[in-house]
Structure 1
Amino acid sequence: MRLQCLQILMLFTLPESLFSQEGVNKSRNLQCSANYCIDLDTYKKRNLPYSPIQIELQFDVTQIISVNDKDFTITFSMFFRVKWLEPRIIGPPTTGKEDKWVAVDLEFIGDLWKPDLFVYHLKRTENLKLLTRFAGLWFVNGNEIIYSQELIMTFWCPMRFDNYPLDTQVCQLKIGSFAYNDEIMTFNTSFDYDQSDSWIKHPNTVLDYQVDIGHLPFEGRDYISPGSGTVYNIAGIQMSLKRNSLKYLVNYYLPSGLMVVVSWISFFIPPEVVPGRMGLLVTNFLVLVNIFNSVSNSSPNVTGFSAISTWIIVCVLFVFGALVGYALILMKKMQLSIQEFENGLSPKSGTN
Structure 2
Amino acid sequence: MSYSLHFCNHKMTLGSALGVISVLIFGMGLVEGVKAKNFQCDAVNQTSLPCLPVDYSKFELPMPTDINKISISAYIDEVMHVKEDDYSITFSCYLNVKWSDPRIHLDRDFGKEQAGVGGKGSERQTILVPVTLEMVDELWLPNVFIYNMKEFKVTNVLNKQAGLWIGTDKSILYSQAVHITFMCPMNFARFPLDTQVCKFQLGSYSYSDLKMMFETEMAGYSPPKHTNSIPLDFEINISKLSLADQTYIAGSLGNFSLAGFELVLDRHMASYLLGYYLPTGLFVMASWIGFLIPVEAIPGRMALLITLFLVLMNIFNTITTITPKTDGLTAIQVWILACIVFVFGALVEYAAILFKKQRYVSSQHRLNIKIVCKDNFKYEVQERAATSAVSLQQLAEEYWRIDKFFLISFPILFFIFNIIYWLAFIL
Assess same fold via TM > 0.5. yes
Q: In 2, are the aligned partners of 1:161 and 1:302 still within 8 Å (CA)?
A: yes
Residue aligning to 2:189: 162
Deviation, 1:278, is: 0.7
TM score, norm. by length of structure 1: 0.86
Q: In 2, are the aligned partners of 1:165 and 1:308 still within 8 Å (CA)?
A: yes
Could you say if the C-alpha distance between residues 105 and 198 of structure 1 is closer, same or farther in structure 2, counting changes exceeding 3 Å? same
Structure 1 counterpart of 2:38, which letter? Answer: V
Residue aligning to 1:12: none
For residue 28 of structure 1, the aligned residue among 42, 52, 67 is 42
Runs of at least 5 residues in structure 2 that lack an aligned partner in the other structure: 1-33, 111-121, 367-384, 397-427
Q: What aligned pairs does 1:229-240 form with structure 2 within 5 A after superposition?
A: 230-240=254-264
Structure 1 counterpart of 2:56, which letter? Answer: Y
In 1, Cα distance between equivalents of 2:130 and 2:217? 22
Runs of at least 5 residues in structure 1 that lack an aligned partner in the other structure: 1-19
For residue 297 of structure 2, the aligned residue among 254, 264, 273 is 273
Is structure 2 residue 51 aligned with structure 1 residue 37? yes
> Which digits, 9 at most, give the CA deviation of each residue in 1:94-151, with x for residues without a partner?
5423332211111210110000000000000121111122111011105110011111
For residue 135 of structure 1, the aligned residue among 159, 162, 171 is 162
Deviates more, 1:252-261 or 1:87-96: 87-96
Deviation, 1:67, is: 0.9
Is structure 2 residue 250 aligned with structure 1 residue 225? yes
Report the structure, 1 or 2, having the larger helix content.
Answer: 2
Residue aligning to 2:239: 214
Deviation, 1:189, is: 0.4
> Which digits, 9 at most, give the CA deviation of each residue in 1:2-50, with x for residues without a partner?
xxxxxxxxxxxxxxxxxx99962789399999711113x3011000010
Q: In 2, are the aligned partners of 1:292 and 1:313 still within 8 Å (CA)?
A: yes
TM score, norm. by length of structure 2: 0.72
Runs of 4+ in 1 over 4 A off after TM superposition: 20-23, 29-34, 344-349
Q: What aligned pairs does 1:251-262 form with structure 2 within 5 A after superposition?
A: 251-262=275-286
Q: In 1, are the aligned partners of 2:39 and 2:135 still within 8 Å (CA)?
A: no
Residue aligning to 1:336: 360
Residue aligning to 2:12: none
Structure 1 counterpart of 2:292, which letter? Answer: F
Q: What aligned pairs does 1:276-315 form with structure 2 within 5 A after superposition?
A: 276-315=300-339
Deviation, 1:69, is: 1.1
Q: In 2, are the aligned partners of 1:176 and 1:233 still within 8 Å (CA)?
A: yes
Deviation, 1:192, is: 4.1
Is structure 2 residue 229 aligned with structure 1 residue 203? yes
> Which digits, 9 at most, give the CA deviation of each residue in 1:172-195, with x for residues without a partner?
101010010010000110224359
In 2, Cα distance between equivalents of 1:269 and 1:225? 70
The Cα RMSD (Å) is 2.7
In 2, Cα distance between equivalents of 1:292 and 1:33? 74
Residue aligning to 2:152: 125
For residue 139 of structure 2, the aligned residue among 112, 115, 132 is 112
Over the matched positions of the two proteins, sequence identity in percent amounts to 37
Structure 2 counterpart of 1:107, which letter? Answer: E
